[in-house]
Structure 1
Amino acid sequence: MAITMSDTARQITVTVSLAVCIVGSMIGVGVFGGTPIAQAAGGALAADSTLLAPATPAFSIWSVVYTGLAAYTVWQWLPSQRTNPRQRKLGWLVALSMILNAAWILSVQAGWLAASVLVIVGLLAVLAGCFLRYSRSRPSSPVEAVVVDGTLGLYLGWTSVAVCANIAAALKAAGFSGFGWRPEVWSIAVLVVVAAVGIALAVKGQGRLALAAAIAWGLLWITVGRSADAPESFPTAIASAAAAAVVLGAAILVRTRVALATAPVRNRRA
């Protein structure tokens, strides 16, 4: 398959977007003098800001995601990948996700919580688009399974939890009172939705474990946060732990069923 101008433009765009994303992340942790995310916007996104805020250690997953995105950027430059139909479908969306990642950090730094919600929802939509594209085909090697599917799965899974925390923080900052309902009613309702989405993604993605693990990671750190830090909420902690178990369990069950269903086919081919 011949290399086109579009292939080269895509590869360069992905690389530039990674650089923008890394600079944005450094701003987000205060390397360049910016305010760390937990302290920006009046602490609206701190670990103790809302019932849906994960405990601080949860955010270490970004290091893994950024490492994966760097590996993906190198991977897509390999001669075997330059014209790969899978990369042609994914590259532009991955680049856009990294630009949105940086835009989210900058919007929070500026204190624009409403804007940050729009950006992170857009990021979630882009990553969902990536998921739908890479789920249509299997990776050609174990390395691709980790670098492409694994990285994007972690990215989508964590963002699925982060968007809930971001929206909750923005609503609280805007003075939303929950129509008089107890905060736990809202937090548990959101966690039920997250669990349902996790099950749907497990079915659609045939039990992709990286995606489920990232969702469960975020949910379990919500459990830790609501058990150990203010605002403490036992119902939210239990609901979050249950949601994590459901999402992981669904992914493992679906993956096992797919493996069992395809095993006879492999045996016949052998």
Structure 2
Amino acid sequence: MTGSPQASDRVRQVVVFVLALVAIAGAFFGSGALGGTPIQDAAGGALASDSTLIAPAGPAFSIWSVIYLGLFAYSVWQLFPSQAARAVHRRVGYLIALSMLLNAAWIGVVQLNQVGLSVLVIFVLLTVLGVTFSLLLRTPRNADSKAAVVVESIVLDGTVGLYLGWVTIATAANVAAWLTALGFRGFGIAPDAWGVGVVIVAALCGVATAISGRGRLTPAIALAWGLCWLAVARITDEPASQLVGIAAVVAACVVMIAAVVYRFVAQRADSHSAVA
């Protein structure tokens, strides 16, 4: 339901917009454009594409441009007077703002060579995005027109979905980078086995998201994108692992198939409910 805008709504709108600008500025800093060290070179190269078996190839990170564009579009759209008092923004606006703050914080701690702290930050970020995604699924919408529905599905649901899917694989890569930096040797288990195990866990997270999200495609697309570029890195670059590369391709296919199947199932269930 939409009530009258309150002062708290205006504050939330401004906070979301300002933190979108902070996140974008942090991204430029983390890319080296504003004086920071490029993420792949920061922390002694712990997060470079050749640092671990779970690190995606460099082009994978271009998805951030799409995510930042979506976050900025959302921050502008939710500023409109017609959006101020909508329930969906009241429920997720501050969570999205928090995710953008955590994003900037993650870049900052990596710049400070704190890989262990970056793991904590990205786990919190993943949790916040998971809660946001869940709330979006459970929040009734009251868009004024079909055009508004399309805009909302792109700048809100689509952006959060991509963000969640990408951070899922990024969290796995971050943990692997931290353990490698600590000198973890895998308790005698072969690195390839560990790599395949992590890929399987990422795929299971993707399938779980597809089920809980009733087949929402954007989380699956982002996760599959990361897995495919992980495969490229392992097959064409060091440290090489054909086994991990193949597992990543299979995992990407499983995640996408799960999303498509559950989307079809959800749509059929909705259509049957409407008829009944």
**Is 1:148 the counterpart of 2:150 in the alignment?**
no
Length-normalised TM-score, structure 1: 0.97
CA–CA distance in 2 between the matches of 1:213 and 1:137? 23
CA–CA distance in 2 between the matches of 1:135 and 1:215? 19
**1:160-171 alignment runs, 5 A limit:** 160-171=168-179
Deviations 1:160-204 (A, max 9, x none): 000000110011011111111111111111111111111111111
Length-normalised TM-score, structure 2: 0.94
Match for residue 44 of structure 2?
42
Question: Match for 1:84 among 72, 82, 86?
Answer: 86
**Is 1:242 the counterpart of 2:244 in the alignment?**
no
Question: Match for 1:72 among 71, 74, 81?
Answer: 74
Deviations 1:118-168 (A, max 9, x none): 111111011011011001136541110111000000000000000000110
User: Contact between 2:21 and 2:72, CA under 8 Å: does it hold in 1?
Assistant: no
CA–CA distance in 1 between the matches of 2:87 and 2:267? 25
SS for the counterpart of 1:46 is: coil
**1:1-270 alignment runs, 5 A limit:** 1-137=3-139, 140=143, 141-266=149-274, 268=275
Cα shift at 1:65: 0.1
AA aligned to 2:168 is S
AA aligned to 2:159 is T
Q: Taking structure 1 as reference, are residues 32 and 128 closer, same or farther at Cα in structure 2, changes over 3 Å only? A: same
SS for the counterpart of 1:111 is: coil
CA–CA distance in 1 between the matches of 2:273 and 2:164? 31
Q: Taking structure 1 as reference, are residues 233 and 138 closer, same or farther at Cα in structure 2, changes over 3 Å only? A: farther
- The alignment-based identity, stated in percent, is 50
CA–CA distance in 2 between the matches of 1:158 and 1:186? 21
What RMSD in Å do the two structures reach over aligned CA positions?
1.2
SS for the counterpart of 1:80 is: helix
Q: Which portions of structure 1, spanning 4 or more consecutive aligned residues, are displaced by more than 4 angstroms?
A: none
**Which blocks of at least 5 consecutive residues in structure 2 are unaligned?**
144-148
CA–CA distance in 1 between the matches of 2:204 and 2:37? 35
SS for the counterpart of 2:81 is: coil
Cα shift at 1:68: 0.1
Cα shift at 1:110: 0.8
CA–CA distance in 2 between the matches of 1:203 and 1:6? 35
